[in-house]
């Protein structure tokens, strides 16, 4: 179909036909793009290339438990990650210092070598 000068000059039937042609062209293009993505996905899956299977995940420590660094007067604990808990904010407003809530380390432990995860 020849490109019209203005869509307002087209009849209803011509507009409906144009809409169908556009929908067909878009679905064809979407199919081509999906095929390309499948080919790219299978090509990087075997190699373990950059970004293969790791996209969208956080850092390596995200979601891991951490030993608490601070203890409140009621026994509450906070690891020092994320937002400060309410009990700590209230205590800090009351004039206390963050160092007042530090949990004393008994003895520094020697770091053991980290175990590497095996590839599956």
Q: Are 54 and 60 in contact (CB under 8 A)?
A: no
Output the furthest CA–CA distance in the chain (Å, rounded).
85
What's the pLDDT score for residue 105? 64
- Using DSSP's 3-state secondary structure scheme, residue 70 falls into strand
- Using DSSP's 3-state secondary structure scheme, residue 77 falls into strand
Task: Give me the mean pLDDT over the 34-39 stretch.
Answer: 90
Cβ neighbours, 10 Å, residue 35: 10
Scanning the structure block, which residue is given the tokens 């030993």? 67
Nearest to 53 by CA among 40, 44, 61, 62: 44
- Which is higher by pLDDT, 4 or 80? 80
The pTM score is 0.39
pLDDT band at 1 (very low <50, low <70, confident <90, very high): low
- Which is higher by pLDDT, 53 or 60? 60
- Which is higher by pLDDT, 11 or 117? 11
């Amino acid at each position: 179909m020849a490109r019209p000068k203005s869509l307002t000059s087209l009849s209803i039937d011509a507009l409906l036909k144009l809409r169908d042609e556009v929908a067909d062209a878009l679905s064809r293009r979407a199919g081509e793009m999906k095929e390309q993505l499948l080919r790219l996905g299978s090509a990087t899956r075997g190699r373990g290339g950059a970004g293969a299977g790791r996209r969208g995940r956080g850092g390596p420590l995200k979601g891991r438990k951490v030993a608490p660094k601070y203890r409140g007067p009621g026994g509450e604990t906070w690891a020092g990650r994320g937002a400060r808990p309410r009990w700590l904010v209230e205590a800090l407003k009351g004039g206390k210092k963050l160092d007042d809530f530090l949990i004393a380390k008994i003895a520094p432990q020697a770091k053991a070598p980290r175990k590497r995860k095996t590839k599956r």
